[in-house]
Amino acid sequence: MEGSSSTQFSSLFFSCDPAVSEEKPHYFLDSCFLCKTPLHVGDELFMYKGDAPFCSEECRQQQIEIDDAKGRRKMKMSKKLKSKVGDDSNNSTAKPNEVYLRQADTAVAV
């Protein structure tokens, strides 16, 4: 821009000026991951998976149990799907290298 003394910034930039921003920035250590209880400087923290803070051992243990239950459910579903896929392939009546006629003049090799 010729003759323009002001610089325009892209919308990707933001202001970190506290006078402009009324909200206090949220940090991941501000509250318990499970119960959302505020955590303060000097409070004892209980961490899980590296980045999840908890206010007590009880909250952390509850989250561990929740994650374990999710993992068991996922594993169970995975085993069900694998066994279903295995059953479908075992129930096939076709033998290897056999040819069947699907439609008139169309041969399908299995």
pLDDT at 18 over 80: no
What does the pLDDT look like over 43-87, one tens digit per residue?
999 999 988 999 999 999 999 999 999 999 999 998 888 887 766
pLDDT of amino acid 84: 75
Radius of gyration from C-alpha coordinates of the chain: 30
Q: Does this model's pTM top 0.85?
A: no
Percent of the chain with pLDDT over 70: 54
Give the residue extent of every domain in the chain: 12-110
pLDDT of amino acid 72: 93
Percent of the chain with pLDDT over 90: 37
